[in-house]
A and B are shown apart, each in its own frame.
Chain A
Amino acid sequence: MPETNYDQEMAFFVDMQRCIGCHACEMACAECETNGQESMIHVHYVDRAKSPQTTVQVCMHCEDPTCANVCPADAIHQDEFGVVHSANTSRCIGCSNCVLACPFGVPKKEEKAELMMKCNMCYDRTSAGLKPMCATVCPSQALYYGTREEIERMRPDSVPVNSFKFGAQEVNTKVNIMMPKGTHQLVVE
């Protein structure tokens, strides 16, 4: 890894309440130099027949990333700042283990490229002091990139949560979900 000035104070926050389903994040993500016009963030309706509620799925950058752990080719690398990088193109064998293993359903196999691709938190931007594309453009700031202190000051009604429980598996992540005050962990049954 080249030397960077990646600022570890900065974190990523997602607040689904605010998402207006506009897809600006997807389009901006695709502009990232490394993405070949594919988006690594995905916006979905929960149940459009009932509500305009959308969710947005970005790589959570797990502290102990399952995708990397299950990769037989050692193609997924987590750097010293905790960023979990997209599959190394020269190593990835397109087996989809990571796709199946990720508890958040994040990595996608690009069928055409026979390669797993996922968000690397706009490493080219974040390591140069810029914000990730998606969080920069998000018009409602459902996606926010900044310090925990900032977000706690700005959004007094909610708290950032980065601990998840999937059955017996506890996962801590670099990306935070904004939840109602008093929440400490998200339990996914």
Chain B
Amino acid sequence: MAKLPTSVDKIIKEHGPHAAYPPKSGFEGSHEPDKLVKTHCCYCGMQCGIKLKVKNEKIAGFEPWMEFPFNEGRLCPKGVQRYMQNNHPDRIMGPIQRVEGKGFDPISWEKAMSKTVSEIQRIQKQYGNDAFAMLSGVSLTNEKSYMIGKFARVALKTANLDYNGRLCMVSAGGGNKKAFGLDRSSNSWADLKHAKVILVAGANISETFPTLTHYIWQARDNGAKLIVVDPREIPFARTADLHLPVRPGGDSALFGAMLKIMVDNDWLDHDFIENHTSGFEETIEAVKDYDLEWAEKESGVPKDLIYKAAKLWGEANTSFLMHARGIEHHTKGVENVLSCINLVLATGRIGKPYCGYGTITGQGNGQGGREHGHKCDQLPGNRDITNPEHRKYISEVWGIDEKDMPGKGLTAYEQIEAIHRGEIKGMISICFNPLVSLPNNNYVREALEKLEFYINIDTFLSETARHADIVMAGSLHEEEEGTVTTAEGRVVKINEAVPPPGNCRRDGEILMELADRLGAGNKFSYPTSEDIFNELRVASKGGTADYYGITYKKVVDNMGVFWPCPSEDHPGTPRLWEDRKFATPDGKAHFNPVKYRPASEVTDKEFPVVLTTGRVVSQYLSGTSTRRIGKLIDQYPEPLMEIHPKMATLYGIEDRDLVKVKTRRGEAEFPAHVVETIREDTVFIPYHWGGKFSANQLTIGNLDPVSKIPEFKVCACKLIPTGKKGSETRTETAYQSWL
């Protein structure tokens, strides 16, 4: 019965989001902490090192961790404020259950556990094991990701397990596997500093990975040229040597045309192409008809800029290409990624110093979380759940019969569709807020309401958790020990700074007890996180994501170890492919032909404007935590719709006018932010908010055929000025998220 138990207003009153600020004089003990715990920021894939001040088992503040090699103390506003989660008054302090007409009442762990297990068993008996699904998140540590993969397959015995990396990185992963046979950025960021050309495609680095900007500036100090591909003049594009304002959806036309120009001018590394790659001929065949006029029309980038970019990229000696969600959140996300990789392979600038290719993970453990088997099609070590040998190996590690290992399940958005079809009846989710983060979220809400039983494990009552029958109070990043893998492939150590407060439990302990009650206790007895990690090491051994040689001690001693690391005496691999042996079956890097095709929904008479979505620097993903931190809210209190003055004039829209944005999925009102820094044909809305402020009630659930990532980055909308002005005191709306 996953309908809201009472009005949203009542739920918000009790559980937030409420804004919390530090006390004027700081938290008690912030000047004289009991200890400083070295750990990492809980937010984006940079996983910046930070020291948390602890007083009386509470986090009292932070101190920069100057020695941590990636960020040397540098942090973005989210990192500076991350310590505010622990003291937050909205924290769920123990398990709660839905009470019709009232909201949520505290219950005992015993009751929460027994009710949950009996409902799981009832649903599975009545409708089959796969009717109970699981969704998880990649803000979780590697240990938890691994345990969830095993929990779903061994304890829940369901095939339907997927994760929120499905909304983030999977197109990059799909492309990486096709091209290189392995899913990781090929280099550490250290190689960036000396690259002579840096191409950043669809990555608002200044707002989503701010600490990486320093590396790019260091490269520029060394003489590097910077090319930024983005529909908006993002802060970091302001000073770029070239800013290519691509129309959302036009990316592969742009990259295809660049490749064509490189071929025409022979800016190619023939030796590399011949000896270490395959598929070059078919790939250039696919772009042979691309001329600059055509490319300008399809990509929206002026042709002289396309030529300049191809020349700059083609003629360089060293280079680094990076991309993120801007090119990945598409129904052709994998193709976009491959069209970027083709540019890298054509120049042979990979696997050598100062040359590289990197996909930037958005979520904290976006990298490690996609390696340990909580994807619907994957087993630990990035193994394939449909491959008999892989299944056999992992079944042995887990001590189960291979025939009991479920097969490939449904991806996140497909699970929502399966709930609508009545195939999935119950769900458990952890650290995932699909009501804000999935596209077409009115459809998602209807799905949640159809569930017969829904359990949520989280630390705050997210928009999604409000629909739960039972919410189990879990742990924050600073309340459990483990490891995460940063965007550059570096495994780092998360240290427990404080114990979970009140009646909260560590996520790992919650899963272990559930497994025990589901009859799989003997498979889940891990006295410490290190024991889980040691099993993960064995499970990943021999897989493409091989962690076998990484130990906690090694990670701590070296402030991180890069995977693959196949044996204990192996130092780890910051730079892949130096030996020119790629992880594909034939050992070569694969070019992949990409034929441009339009987005799944293009503009027409009724919906004439392109809508794209993204992030702002002070918020993180679905905002479950950051929409509760006062200073982060104040910085950008509500989603604004960025619109170019030319389009604004066309519609008679002025700055801060409320505009109704309507798509085939839904409509919502946003204050206009009239800025010249966006394309004239596109509007942009950040997606971190829920309810009536949610951009994702507008976006489309169409999926990439390979990665099954939804097309967040482009759909067609219409703009209807309401004649009203947005609220002046913007913060008054910031804390609400009504239905």
**Which chain A residues have a beta carbon within 8 Å of chain B's beta carbons?**
17-24, 26-28, 30-31, 33, 36-37, 48-54, 131, 133, 136-141, 154-157
Contact = CB atoms under 8 A, between A and B. Distances in A.
Contacts of B71: 139
B210 interface: yes
Contacts of A49: 645, 655, 674-676
A20 B213 contact: yes
B56 interface: no
Interface residues of B, number: 47
Interface of B: 21-26, 30-31, 61-62, 64, 66, 71, 73-77, 79-81, 206-207, 210-214, 217-218, 221, 233-236, 238-239, 617-618, 631, 635, 645, 655, 674-677
A139 B235 contact: no
Contacts of A139: 71, 74-76, 210-214
Contact of A52 (B80, B213, B217, B677): B677
Nearest to A21: B235
Contacts of A141: 74, 214, 217
Most interface-central of B73, B207, B233, B645 (chain A CB within 10 A)? B73
Contacts of A23: 77, 617-618, 635
The interface centre, meaning the residue of B80, B206, B214 with most chain A CB atoms within 10 A of its CB, is: B80
A137 B75 contact: yes
Given A139-B211, A141-B214, A24 B77 contact: yes
A62 B218 CA distance: 29
Contacts of B73: 131, 136-137
12 contacts: A20-B617, A28-B80, A31-B62, A37-B22, A48-B675, A49-B674, A49-B675, A51-B233, A51-B238, A137-B74, A139-B210, A139-B211
A28 B77 CA distance: 8
Nearest to A31: B61
B676 A50 contact: yes
A48 B76 CA distance: 21
A140 B217 contact: yes
B79 A24 contact: yes
Contacts of A33: 26, 30-31
B74 A154 contact: no
Nearest to B629: A27
B206 A36 contact: no
A52 B235 CA distance: 5
Contacts of B212: 139
B221 A22 contact: no
Contacts of A154: 218, 221
Contacts of B213: 18, 20, 139-140
Given A22-B206, A24-B210, 17 more contacts: A20-B206, A20-B213, A20-B235, A24-B80, A27-B77, A27-B81, A31-B61, A33-B31, A37-B24, A37-B26, A49-B674, A51-B233, A51-B677, A137-B76, A139-B210, A140-B217, A141-B214
Given A18-B217, A20-B206, A137 B64 contact: yes
A52 B631 contact: no
A156 B674 CA distance: 37
A155 to B, nearest CB: 5
A156 B221 contact: yes
B676 A28 contact: no
A140 B210 contact: yes
Contacts of A52: 233-235, 238, 677
A22 B207 contact: yes
Contacts of B235: 19-21, 52, 54
B686 to A, nearest CB: 14
Contacts of B211: 139
A80 B526 CA distance: 59
Nearest to A36: B24
Nearest to A28: B80
A22 B617 contact: yes
Contacts of B239: 17
